A and B are shown apart, each in its own frame.
Chain A
């Protein structure tokens, strides 16, 4: 049998299969084409007569014959079994629930972290991570926090028996990165932090932050504002703007708090923003030269900005979650909503 002949038989088979109206007719077609004495065994037998260099092509065509005709027969069989063609109308209950395993869902905290990584990733920020168990040096001293600052107290910070602590912010990662390389540095540092807060609707002893750091020549507060404004719109939606209020953090000078336009009311004032039209989101500022000194950077040559945001807070505002505890209760009825 030539390859063309095989193709022709295949086409005929497909046509016949398409034309049948009953199961017995279909069985006859099956026997004719792929039954024990049908075309298929003949085609397979023909293989041994083919010259070695044509064998591969012959095999491929034979295989295609088997697959195409076989699946056409299967499909037709299913169609006839469902009764469609036999009675002229279908009795199949299309309204039955579909059957496929459902999709899972990421935790809202993960979603916000991943979204943040994506947004800053477009600007060329890469992720840096560090240990949760930190040294006092990296968590406080290198960040220009004096030893008598109240945040060092064991009423505020979880100190461990080793003399280490559970980091109270992800800023120590900034220090570790700067210790390890020369500028430019362009990183964000998402991660888990710990403070000795008693849990209530807005406080959690275990929480997540993402911080950002950009050190280079000629970095200014205006660059920081532009970057946060970009993030604000990407994360919360178009029309969301940023404003700065002066604040104090030991590791930045000047320090600011950044508010985003309330995305719920568009800045007109509502319950979510306590009628101010703004929502406090980030702490930020220009890296204090005293911090640069600790990591051996020349603050005359380089300047930098840093910012930090609470992931839970963003998640709560974005998704309308009014109690931080929902995020850690892992109630399936809550998590399911984030599919």
Chain B
């Protein structure tokens, strides 16, 4: 909201610079966001008359004008073309300095001498308008100093009013705050005027059918109006507040809106059938055209102002076309009313139509001040539009209520704030805020809340008033005391933090993507999941239209985008929620862990040039998952071959923990990678975090450190290609005595000598007893048994050598 300081000063006396005032307001809860100076001293700027206009021979877009400054004609080159011969405009002469700092010099423009400048509004710091030069009335003599036309410079605050303070959405409301802050009295303008017309109830009728939507409606009638421009001072104030002047009647309603925050509406009295106003709800299917020329169709249940045949206004939001003030208007019915905030909000939101009026009504105007505003506007119309006011007012006020009374306990104020405010100070603050102190007892007072403060409902609201007027700088920062809530448990969060630390310890970098993504990105990875997708009904854009049901699409995309930035190795992880829609449309959330590898991420040391093959990258990511599982104390993790829509066939495995699937890993399909121009394989794992964080705080139970030496034996064997490591392990474990404490695959190789579709696998086995030192004979005996089992069950050809 824009607030010119000169206007404030009409209602409240204070002695402070704009900066001091802004500071005081900001620290009492009314944030001053900007302090703007409009206009300037305009030295060297006069009203110039345009005498001739010619085209510039050297430039199509320039004009050459002779401009009279009251004494002589001066040649000026001008880029604008929004004027004619005889027009008058602010003319900055050579030597002038404009508010924006520009100095006017005599200069040549494309070879033509230019001795001054015709100014646009922005160059004069009057507005942001640079649409052409500013034109002033032709009645003003050339040579008049422009400062006389523009008036002195003005300081205008840009103020942010919080939602709970509709009373501050006006100059008087702000003045009331300032009066409280400076401890001075608010001065209200006079609303007295002569009522020379007929009694109003003879001239008009109000039928208020909807007391819920409209708890108060007033109407005045003003006749014999002469439409003309409003007075200069009023136009200037409107302009400073960003409202365009139109004519005296419209300007007066806007002026009173800005002044006291009460939206008014002026109907052309003659265009109201039977001079009758009906306040009612819209019917289903009813429609009307609003002032902006738009046909509004969904008026069902909206509060409407109607005459006996048609709606004439969308109550509290916008007038209707066909009943508004026009060039022929002579008689006016002036509406001032209070509309129910939720109703206005609903209609405004449904129609997507927000106005200065609806903005105030939906926050709540001063129901007690409705008639004051009407009188104020009527008085201004009598004075500035030659209006004849009808006698009296139609004031239908079914929603009238007694003012709310709130008990304010002094000790409560002090204990909530932690500030030692004296009783008298509390009572004083209430009075400064124009709250009536109805009773002042030993330990409390009773505050009667005026209608302009609908936000004050309970004692806590009064505590806030004391806090902000007394000053929050009085609140000391008490050194905090640690305090333990014994049964609180945040172990899951700590387990996730541990998981994150383990992943970074494994050399992975954490990424973070949005919870929503485009359908296109989801489809790029898979479309088998469509039924589980939660689609947003009102996304910000199609890029963020579906909640993610997997972290994999974002991971692929992140790797791909990094590759496009020439980052060709990456080891990334993300921990985040996925959202899944069930068959009954209910939505569930799961925390997932996703790991993604690209390039030589798993290769340490040299030989970086050797391309990464699928086998390598698969084993790296499997290694990460195994390490993470170990670090998170997840036992019994097994990997089983699986199919996955996003993974290459044969290169995907499902991760099982305690016999239940909890994730997937694998090498991403080439046709998916291709969309990001990723040529080398990338690997991704996705794990349900719940399984991986549930066990981390398990207590370690120390096992004895072995005291007897271990004996190790190697076995190398040639087997068919189809034999898997897991098969070998299974057989070894079955055949081994309990002294077998370790099995490690240490080599695989293939060669012509071994033969096609065959491979040599070499394992190192460790035997150790907890009770004695094993002899070579013991070890040999165990080892032979294992070799026999491998021979028999795998058709393995044992390679003897060691």
Contacts and interface: CB of A to CB of B under 8 A. Distances in A.
Secondary structure call for the A interface: mixed
Interface centre among A58, A101, A197 (most CB of B within 10 A): A101
B482 A124 contact: yes
Contacts of B558: 330
Interface in A85-131: 99-107, 109-110, 114, 117, 122-124, 126-129, 131
Contacts of A301: none
A223 B418 contact: yes
Nearest to A300: B412
A107 B510 contact: yes
A328 B558 CA distance: 10
A186 B488 contact: yes
A253 interface: yes
B773 interface: yes
Contact of B585 (A63, A161, A243): A161
Contacts, number: 263
Contacts of A242: 477
B540 A199 contact: yes
Interface residues of B, number: 97
Given A148-B341, A148-B362, A154-B538, A330 B562 contact: yes
A154 B539 CA distance: 10
A29 B776 CA distance: 24
A63 B709 contact: yes
A261 B349 CA distance: 39
A101 B540 contact: no
B453 interface: no
B507 A103 contact: yes
B510 to A, nearest CB: 4
Contacts of A275: none
A226 B28 CA distance: 20
Interface in B508-542: 508-516, 534-541
B27 interface: yes
Contact of B27 (A159, A161, A246, A288): A246
Given A47-B775, A101-B604, A123 B480 contact: yes
B795 interface: no
Nearest to A133: B587
Interface residues of A, number: 99
Interface stretch (B45-53, B64-72, B462-470, B651-659): B462-470
Contacts of B504: 103-106
A335 interface: yes
Nearest to B566: A333
A222 B476 contact: yes
Interface string A254-267: 11100000000000
A100 B603 CA distance: 10
A66 B349 CA distance: 85
A158 B163 CA distance: 21
Given A126-B485, A162-B587, A245 B26 contact: yes
A328 B513 contact: yes
A223 B500 contact: no
Closest 3 CB pairs of A and B: A222-B418, A220-B418, A246-B29
Interface of B: 26-29, 31, 162-165, 341-342, 345-346, 349, 362, 415-419, 458-461, 463-464, 467-468, 472-473, 475-485, 488-490, 492-494, 497, 500-501, 503-516, 534-541, 544, 558, 561-562, 565, 567, 570-573, 577, 579, 585-587, 589, 604-605, 707-709, 772-773, 775-776
Interface of A: 44, 47-48, 55-56, 58-60, 62-63, 66, 99-107, 109-110, 114, 117, 122-124, 126-129, 131-133, 146-150, 153-155, 158-162, 164, 166, 184-187, 192, 194, 196-199, 205-206, 216, 218, 220-223, 225-230, 242-248, 253-256, 286, 288-290, 303, 327-333, 335-336, 339
16 contacts: A66-B709, A104-B505, A106-B500, A117-B493, A123-B483, A129-B493, A132-B589, A150-B345, A196-B540, A226-B477, A245-B26, A245-B27, A247-B29, A253-B463, A330-B511, A332-B565
